[in-house]
Every structure is written in C-alpha cells, then in structure tokens.
A and B are shown apart, each in its own frame.
Chain A
C-alpha cells in the first residue's frame, strides 16, 4: 500500500491516522510542488492527491478512500444516521479547509499577499470556522458521545483531528493576522481534540509532521535573519 501526497498534513493526514491506527503497513510517496506542476499531475487519475495505491489500483478522493478503508477496518458506522453524521461533518471540515486554503493560505503564503489584501476575507473564514466548531460542540453536548460520532473511533475523528490540528497551529502562527479563539468557547470540542491527541501520540510521532506551516515559519525566520545581516 502506498500513499501518494505532499509533505504536509492536510488531506493525506486522516488516511495516515487510519492506517497507523489499524496497524496496516504502508509507504509514503512524497511529492514536491515543482515536480507536481511540471507534469507529475497527469500521472494521477483525476490529477489530484492524495492517491492510495492498493491492490495494483489507484484510489482517489480523501473521503471516498476513508470510507472504503473505514468500512474495511471498522471505522465507519453501520447505522445510516450515524454514517450521515460522519459524512456531513467530514464534508464540513473539507469546506473549511477549502475556505481557509482559497481565501487565506494560498494568497498569503504562496502568493505572498499582504495582510491588508487578505483581510476582507477574514470575517467569512472566521465565521465559517466558528459555526463548524459550534455545531460540533452542540452535537457532542446532545449526544454525550466519547468520540465525534458514537462511542468508537470513526473516520470523522481522523478528519477532525487533522482539521483541529491545522487550525490550532495556523492560529498560533498567524495570530498577528487574525484573532480566533482556539476552541475557548467549545470545551467539549477542545476536550475531544486533547483526548484524541493523547490517544494518537505514538502514531503522530511515527508520522512526523513536515507541516508546510512549520516550513513557512522556518523560512520566514531565516529570511528575517538574512535581512538583518
């Protein structure tokens, strides 16, 4: 089994969390952006990553893959309403990822736009995030469940942990840009995130986060040092 993705968290991460949790051995095939733009893209079924190579075939689309593996290894609810809950939340997380990526991350980090240029998008980004967090908090309060949906780990938890992780690290690093509370008004959500972090600790160390955010931060630090010289 080979997982083809870039060297950062985002859409590949939930799949890694699942495979490691299920103790299924796999290999990372890491791609770099320059290669991707130069033609690697065309080698993949839909021209997008992540792609899971398994049984000699290519499997695309994060959530479709998660659902397939989830059914196989017991991380996807059999009950149709619980399955709906998981599906709905995963789509919401992906919407959030899309919003932050297209209205902030890509502009600010890859295209080097200034804070003033991206600022008009902040209300929408922050409102969207807050709404999702409120929604999760509401669900957790109503259900009293131990995990995101139900009382055992699902693919929803893998995606939630990825989303929450990206969000908290973005928040810390770009606190100068925006001022968003880290789950401060969502105690149950925060507790879930912390509990999952503890549960996944060994796995997270094994995966090793080569976060683009961390890389950016390092790059900025280096640039600042160079500019001072």
Chain B
C-alpha cells in the first residue's frame, strides 16, 4: 500500500498552501497532486467530503485544512501545548479563514470566475475592506502587545503558515484589483509588514 504523503489541491495558494509551507519547513517529503479546474467536477465526489485540500497519508485521506494543520502541527512542533496559546492559534486561523471566504465568495468568485457585472460585487467592497482592516488591526495589536516575532508565542505555529498564505494572496490581489479597492499593503501595520517580509 502506498504510504507516501500526497497533497491534493488546485494549482493555487488558497487552502493548500499553509500545508505546503508546514511540510517544507519540517522537511517532510511529499508529492503534489494538482487538480485542474476542468477536471474538478469529474473527481470531486471521489474525495471524502467533496472538498480540497486532501492529504493522503498512511494510506488514508485527511480532509479540512485546519484539522490537518493541527495534526501535523502537533506532530512536528508547530502547535502550542499551552491551551490558551492553542486557543489563540485556533481563533486566528478561523478568523483568517472567514476573511478568505468573504473575499472569495463576495469578490473573487463573482468577478473572476462568474464574470458578473461590477454592480453585483461592488457593494461588497466596503464590507470587505472593513473586515480586512479589522483583522489586520487585531493582528497588529497582538504583535505589538506581545512583542513576539510570531503571531502566537515565541515560535512558528500553524497560524503563521496560514497568515503568510493569506497575506501573500492578498498582497498579490491588491495591485491587480487596486482599481476596485484602495488599500495599501500594510501601510498602517508596520509590525505585520516586518513579520511578513521576514
């Protein structure tokens, strides 16, 4: 039986990337199984819950990005043992995912994939901007208060992998869609910018 590790995901950053970052950082060998969009509906229901990413490991399917990150995090030292720090990591990952979902569902999908007219997604932009601002303010506040180099605690956690992914997607979206929204990459968030650059 094939016991190698395989990550099944689309050719994007999205929800697969934090897992890639962890595996690479931990120097764990794995293989990418890229599912291209035209094939997706043909293979969707072969997957446990009909969603990606899926990690194939020990001959089984593991689903749900955060559940996978938590398991790998525990095994490779990227998830805090302290319950309050663990809560912080969990909470931030969920909040960042909320943000990703709202940007995806209210802006990227209608604009890029469904090619809907501007009027339909335009009204979501103020709310998206607000939630991004709120998120970044929150993260900036935490880092300022803790003085830590990482989002939670003193070493890299799965929350950092998620943040790097989303910040990366976000900063690459920004110049492309600058016509639509006006948001400076971390202009007001020096600590976050420093963290991200690092």
Instruction: Note whether A and B form a binding pair.
Output: yes
Among B46-54, B162-170, B181-189, which stretch is in contact with chain A? B46-54
Cα separation A98 to B94 with both chains bound (whole Å): 13
Among A14-22, A56-64, A166-174, A209-217, which stretch is in contact with chain B? A56-64
Q: Is the beta-carbon distance between B131 and A47 smaller than 8 angstroms?
A: yes
Cα separation A191 to B103 with both chains bound (whole Å): 39
Cα separation A62 to B65 with both chains bound (whole Å): 17
Smallest CB–CB gap between A115 and chain B, Å?
Answer: 22
Point out the residue from B63, B74, B94, B134 that lies within 8 Å of A88, measured CB to CB. Answer: B63
Cα separation A127 to B44 with both chains bound (whole Å): 11
Which A residues touch B74, using CB under 8 A? Answer: 80, 83
Indicate the member of B45, B49, B63, B130 with the most A CB atoms within 10 Å.
B49
Q: Is the beta-carbon distance between A68 and B83 smaller than 8 angstroms?
A: yes
Interface set, chain A 39-80, CB cutoff 8 A to B: 45-48, 59-65, 67-68, 71-72, 80
Cα separation A131 to B66 with both chains bound (whole Å): 20
Smallest CB–CB gap between A192 and chain B, Å?
Answer: 18
Chain B residue at minimum C-beta to C-beta distance from A71: B83
Q: Is the beta-carbon distance between A68 and B71 smaller than 8 angstroms?
A: no
Which A residues touch B36, using CB under 8 A? Answer: none
Q: Is the beta-carbon distance between B90 and A135 smaller than 8 angstroms?
A: no
Cα separation A91 to B54 with both chains bound (whole Å): 13
Smallest CB–CB gap between B170 and chain A, Å?
Answer: 17
A92: interface (CB < 8 Å): yes
Cα separation A149 to B74 with both chains bound (whole Å): 19
Cα separation A84 to B62 with both chains bound (whole Å): 9
Q: Is the beta-carbon distance between B45 and A127 smaller than 8 angstroms?
A: yes
B95: interface (CB < 8 Å): yes
| Interface of B: prevailing SS | helix
Q: Is the beta-carbon distance between B95 and A46 smaller than 8 angstroms?
A: yes
Q: Is the beta-carbon distance between B62 and A61 smaller than 8 angstroms?
A: no
The 8 A CB mask of A21-39 against B (1 = contact, 0 = none) is 0000000000000000000
| Contact A131/B45 with A63-B94, A98-B101 known, Cβ cut-off 8 Å | yes
Q: Is the beta-carbon distance between B49 and A59 smaller than 8 angstroms?
A: no
A-B contact pairs, 27 of them (CB 8 A): A46-B134, A60-B91, A61-B91, A61-B95, A63-B90, A63-B94, A64-B87, A67-B86, A67-B87, A67-B90, A68-B87, A68-B90, A87-B64, A87-B66, A87-B71, A88-B62, A88-B67, A90-B67, A91-B67, A92-B64, A95-B49, A102-B105, A127-B45, A127-B50, A128-B50, A131-B49, A135-B49
Task: List the 9 closest pairs (A to B, CB-CB), nearest first.
Answer: A64-B90, A87-B67, A91-B64, A61-B94, A88-B67, A64-B91, A68-B87, A84-B71, A88-B64
Known pairs A71-B83, A80-B75, A128-B50. 10 more at Cβ < 8 A? A61-B91, A64-B91, A87-B64, A87-B70, A88-B64, A88-B68, A91-B64, A95-B51, A102-B105, A131-B48
